[in-house]
A = this chain, B = another copy of it.
Amino acid sequence: ALAVGLALGLVTWWRWRRPRPRPRPVREVLFFPSQPSCTEALLAEAAGPGSAKLRPCPCPLPRLDCSLSRLLRRLLSARRSLDLCLFAFCSPQLGQAVRILHRRGVRVRLLTDAMSMGFSGSQIGLLRQAGIQVRHDEKTGYMHHKFAVVDRRILITGSLNWTTQAIQNNRENVLILEDVECVKSFLDEFERIWGEYDPSNYTFFPQRQ
């Protein structure tokens, strides 16, 4: 009987000793430049049946599973919220994805750098026209973050500015992380900056004495 008990003990010990499959916090690592690829079908699918993009895209680019399409898919997985903290935002594909999410009812907030809003092809005007809340700095230092938090759960961060130049030509990296404490640090940083860049604090508006 002692032997049976010990055997049972050994079996449970062996069972619990095996490493349990725990999801890795680093879900994906994307490197850029991304392969040239058409993302129209991906965006049309996300936009839903009401979209004007029902005809297939006539462009000659292949439809590949590339770094850009993977980044787009992560963003388009948002169901409740998208917090964007981006030095520059000029990529039309990423701009379209964010507008689709806003139309779907996802709460989008965007923090950006004032200087980059003047970049050629900046998406900020289109995003504001669509009704998305945008706040920017007014200091000499840059708001140089390049991160996004999807549904307060997934962190997308790296060296990549959201521009076509960076996506197509630069050596860049993007990490996709699901780590509660790490996401919390970035959300806290987002809220700090969101509060600091409140338009009512802008000093170029006349102040009442």
Judged by a CB distance under 8 angstroms, whether A13 is at the interface is: yes
Number of interface residues of A (CB under 8 A): 55
- Chain A positions 167-195 with a Cβ under 8 Å from a chain B Cβ: 168-173, 175, 177, 179, 181-182, 185-186, 189, 193
The answer to whether residues A144 and B157 also contact, given A2-B2, A29-B182 and a CB cut-off of 8 A, is: no
Q: Shortest beta-carbon distance, A97 to chain B, in Å?
A: 21
Minimum CB–CB distance from A164 to chain B (whole Å) comes to 11
Report chain B residues within 8 Å CB of A1. Answer: 1-2, 5
Contact among B5, B10, B26, B31 with A6 in the assembled complex (CB-CB below 8 Å): B5
Most chain B CB atoms below 10 A, which of A11, A145, A147, A171: A171
Chain B CB within 8 A of A59 CB = no
Q: What CA separation (Å) do A169 and B144 show in the bound complex?
A: 10
A41 adjacent to chain B (CB < 8 Å): no
Cα A31 to Cα B171 with chains together (Å): 23
Which residue of B6, B140, B177, B186 is within 8 Å of A169 (Cβ)? Answer: B140
Docked CA distance A39–B166 (Å): 34
Q: Which of B16, B29, B159, B168 contacts A12 (CB 8 A)?
A: B16
Tell me which residues from 142 to 167 in chain A have a Cβ below 8 Å from any Cβ of chain B. Answer: 142-147, 157-161, 165-166
Contact of A25 among B16, B25, B31, B189 (CB under 8 A): B25
Contact at B157–A169, with CB atoms within 8 Å?
no
Taking a contact as CB atoms under 8 Å apart, the answer to whether B169 and A141 are in contact is: yes
Instruction: Determine which residue in A4, A5, A166, A179 has the highest number of CB atoms from chain B within 10 A of its CB, and name it.
Output: A5
B25 touches A179 (CB 8 A): yes
Complex: A181 Cα to B142 Cα, angstroms? 32
Binary interface encoding of chain A residues 7-23 relative to chain B, with 1 for a CB under 8 A from any of its CBs, else 0:
11111110111000000
Interface, chain A (partner B; CB < 8 A): 1-13, 15-17, 24-26, 29, 31, 33, 87, 137, 139-147, 157-161, 165-166, 168-173, 175, 177, 179, 181-182, 185-186, 189, 193
